[in-house]
Structure 1
Amino acid sequence: MKGIVNAIVIVLFIFNVSNAYAYANAEEYSCDTGAGASKDQSLVVNAVVNIPDSAAAGTIVWRAPERAMSYNCWRGVEAFSTYYFFNPKNKNFGSEIEVGVTINGVDYLPSSTEKYAHSFASKMCGLGQTCANSYASYRMSMFVVKKSNSGSTSKTKVIDINNYIPYEVGKSKNSSNTSVRITGLEAKLLPCTSTVMIIPNTIDFGEIRSTGATPELEIQRENFTLSEQRDCQSASTYGLNGVLRPAANANLYDSMGTLVPKDNDSVGISIFDVENNTPVRFNNEFVVIPKVGTISNSKQFEARLKWRTKAPKAGRFNAGAVLDVYYK
């Protein structure tokens, strides 16, 4: 009889342990980066964002390169939503700037958006079962917005953004979330104004004969100059970076960045840096003016026209490009 009693005790013990595991699993919630299962991910930026006094309030003065990211969250038997929580530590950079986050191409400012629901996970498992993880990949970037009005910077001021946590991912603001930390970033407000001009701002390729047209055959080259003039209240060393984007009347054709007119796709235009003889890739940041302290600066570019077909259609074509310039 003693043996029977022992058997009953063992069965009850196993049953109780199983129930305790299921209950704990149902309440469990945690997130990691999905890469090495770390809770925090450090992104090294190593950049100084130079902000001119001439920039108006609300101007985006800098954008970081886009990065591919991922997170991995899980919970037991209950459904849950996963959120991005922006500026979870409530960091305040003062009256001059605000740091925003771009998620999958959409900009978010912590002052106007506290959180954003990215995904919803329905019931993933039953009692006693192994729960699946909720994994997601996304693209992120950061940007800096000037909050102060133009004409309000009388002397150079440095703002430390190092170790800033722009957002965390999870169900709620708690220690089970995964967070992103930025290192090596600072902003510098400059009592300086740069005026940038493109000369000429319109390029006329003139009349083009279609005889002998061959795809990728170069037709003509035309130069233009980007000129910068600084009006600084004190000596300031900085550079200009730019991002070239197609205007509304043009499309991009290939990875090299061939600009194709919407009204006549018989031709394409590529932009080259004359000094290095290298193509300027559209939608990618590049150096316009290196970091210098001189007042007047310039850079030479070249527009190269080429055929895209052996049977071009007659008529005019128009294609534009927009150059966004950032202080570096």
Structure 2
Amino acid sequence: MRILIRLLALGALLVLSQKSHALTCTMDGTYLADYYLETTVAISNTMPKGTVVWRSPNRIGTLKCWQEQPAGAELVYLYASPESNLALGEDIEIGINIDGTDYTYSNLTQVKNGIKREPTELKLDGCRSFAGCEDQAKIKTVSYNFFFSKRSPANTGQAKEGPVSSQSKFAVFQLDGEGGLNPKVGSNYRQYVHNLHNLRYIACSSTIALSQSTINFGSLSNVNAQRDQIARQKPFSITANKNCDSAYGLAALLKPLTDAKLDAQREHVLVPEDNKSVGITLHDMDNNERVVPFNQEFELVPHSQDRTVTRHFAARAVWLTDKANTTLGKFNAGATIDIYYK
């Protein structure tokens, strides 16, 4: 009887140790996601290490994970660059943002079977059925994007030009179990990015100057305030300078700071936290006063060899309420501008 107990314990240990074979994850019911890089992404040697040169649109999806064999409790892990990080060369590395936190490949400290990884907050309770435990699946809403960042330090020496990589596609990450990557291909959610030939080197980078970093609307009178009426408009400009003749463009991405939020119905309207009776919109005066979006890339400088380009914009304070509902007092709102080379 004593020997039988030992054999049973050993058998259980063998089953529970095979975690890399036991976990399946899907995102919105699929195992695979492909993103096609449609625009060029330009990288200069002079960019500092850690510079984000491109970021994908944010995706919000439903992550579902369960164990397909008997196994103990385990965390779900994000495995970065599950195929090879070498495809991006010596100057660029992949990064993943999960629920608002950036993880770059070089900063990940955990390694399993040669693949760098980061634990997620999702934990499975264990499974005792050889038929699997999809009925005990853990489900979580996940927000993620991925990005390319400068891996090497700034270098003012010999400029590089041409493509960064000859690869057609790159595996960004895979969601898998504690024991490592599941050898069963297509059983766990994996993100790919295609068209790496659009990553290219350029000979120099640009400096960006704002005509004014703080826009002061002054005192606004609510005597004639009406919803959606422009209370005041202030012009400003952005100038880009470079010291070489490399042809490239610049894209920009506006993000609200914590002192403001976007209007729920109109996501181009920035609403100050300290006064919700006023909204702020930005307009491209060089393009028929077109609204400048938040959280969405827009063209700041067209692709060209021009060394100096100035773009003209306007900030508008817009009433979000009528006179009777306006809140008296100051209002403050801010935004950051991320610049990407194209």
TM-score range, shorter chain: 0.7 to 0.9
Q: What residue number does 1:60 align with?
A: 52
Aligned to 1:242, which of 217, 237, 252? 252
Q: Are residues 1:317 and 2:316 paired? A: no
Q: What residue number does 1:8 align with?
A: none
Aligned to 2:296, which of 268, 279, 284? 284
Q: What residue number does 2:96 align with?
A: 101
2:168 partner amino acid: N
Aligned to 2:77, which of 77, 83, 93? 83
TM-score under structure 2 length normalisation: 0.76
TM-score under structure 1 length normalisation: 0.79
Indicate conservation of the 8 Å contact 2:22/2:71, yes or no: no
Distance in 2, Cα, partners of 1:256 & 1:129: 43
1:229 partner amino acid: N
Equivalent runs, 1:14-93 vs 2, <5 Å: 29=22, 31=24, 33=26, 38=31, 40-69=32-61, 70=63, 72-81=65-74, 82-92=76-86, 93=88
Q: What residue number does 2:181 align with?
A: 173
Indicate conservation of the 8 Å contact 1:264/1:317, yes or no: yes
**Larger Rg belongs to:** 1
Compared with structure 1, are the counterparts of its residues 67 and 319 closer, same or farther at alpha carbon in structure 2 (3 Å cutoff)?
closer
User: Gaps (5+ residues) in structure 2?
Assistant: 1-14, 109-115
Indicate conservation of the 8 Å contact 2:85/2:93, yes or no: no
Q: Are residues 1:196 and 2:204 paired? A: no
Q: Are residues 1:155 and 2:160 paired? A: yes
Q: What residue number does 1:327 align with?
A: 341
Compared with structure 1, are the counterparts of its residues 37 and 308 closer, same or farther at alpha carbon in structure 2 (3 Å cutoff)?
closer
Compared with structure 1, are the counterparts of its residues 37 and 226 closer, same or farther at alpha carbon in structure 2 (3 Å cutoff)?
closer
Distance in 1, Cα, partners of 2:23 & 2:258: 45
**What's the Cα RMSD here?**
2.9
Compared with structure 1, are the counterparts of its residues 139 and 261 closer, same or farther at alpha carbon in structure 2 (3 Å cutoff)?
closer
Indicate conservation of the 8 Å contact 1:73/1:170, yes or no: no
Distance in 1, Cα, partners of 2:30 & 2:57: 24
Q: How far 1:125 sits from its partner (Å)?
A: 5.4
Distance in 2, Cα, partners of 1:129 & 1:105: 32
Compared with structure 1, are the counterparts of its residues 216 and 71 closer, same or farther at alpha carbon in structure 2 (3 Å cutoff)?
same
Q: How far 1:124 sits from its partner (Å)?
A: 4.5
Alignment size in residue pairs: 301
Indicate conservation of the 8 Å contact 1:79/1:120, yes or no: no
Q: How far 1:271 sits from its partner (Å)?
A: 0.7
